[in-house]
Structure 1
Amino acid sequence: MHRLLRQLQAREAELALIHRIAGIGGVEVDLRDGFRNRRSPEYLIIHGLPPTAANETHEDWVARIHPEDRTRVESQFLDSLASTASDYSAEYRIIRPSDGRTRWVRVAAQIDRDTDGRPIRLIGAHFDVTDAKLAEQALRESEERFRTIANSAPIPMWVTKLDGDRSFVNQAYTEFFELNYEEALRLDWRARVHPEDAERILKAEQLRKLVPVSRDPPKNLFAVEIRILRTNGDWRWIKAVSQPRFDEHGEHVGFIGVALDITTAKQAEIELRSSEERFRLMVENAPVMIWMSDAAGKCVQLNQMLREFWGVSAQGVPEFDWSDTLHPEDRASVVSKVSCALNARSDFELKARYLDAKGRYRMLETRAHPRFSTSGEFMGMIGANVDVTERDEAEKARELLVDELNHRVKNTLSIVQAIAHQTFRNNADPIEARHAFEGRLIALGHAHDLLTHANWENASLAELAETTLDAKGTNANRISLAGPRVLLTPKQAVSIAMALHELCTNARKYGALSKDEGRVQVDWRRTSGAGAQLGIIWQEVGGPVVSPPARRGFGSTLLERTLAHDLDGEVTVKFDPEGLLCRIALPLDGAVAGLGD
Structure 2
Amino acid sequence: MEDMPSTMTGVGGEPSWSEEERLRALNRYSILGSERETLFDEVARLAADICEAPVAMVGFITADRHWLKAEIGVGSRDLPLETSFCRHAIQDSGLFVVPDLAQDPRFAQNPFVTGEPGVRFYAGAPLLTPEGVPLGTVCIFDTVPRPDGLDERPARLLRTLARHVMTELELRRALAERDAEITAARYREEERRVAEAALVASEARLRERTADLVRAQRVGRIGGFEVDLRDGNRSRCSPEYLAIHGLPPESWNESHEDWVARIHPDDRTRTERMFLEAVAEGLTSYDFEYRIIRPSDGAVRWIGALAEIEHDGDGRPLRLVGAHSDITARKEAEDALRVSEANYRALFEQAAVGVARVGLDGIFLEVNDRFCTIAGHDRDWLIGRNFGDITLPEDKDRDRASLTALVAGEMATYTVEKRYLRPDGGQVWVNLSVGLVRRPDGTPDHAVAVIEDITDRRRVEDGRQLLVRELNHRVKNLFAIAGGMVAMTARTTRTSVEMARVLTGRLGALASAHDLIQAAVVGSAGTEAVCLQKVAAAVLAPHRPVGEYLGLGGPPVSLGPGAATGLALVLHELATNAAKYGALSVAHGRLDLTWTVGEGRLDLEWRESGGPPVVPPRRAGFGSRLAQRTVEDQLGGTLGQDWWPEGLRVTLSLPVDQLGS
- TM normalised by structure 1 equals 0.44
Which of the pair has more CA radius of gyration? 1
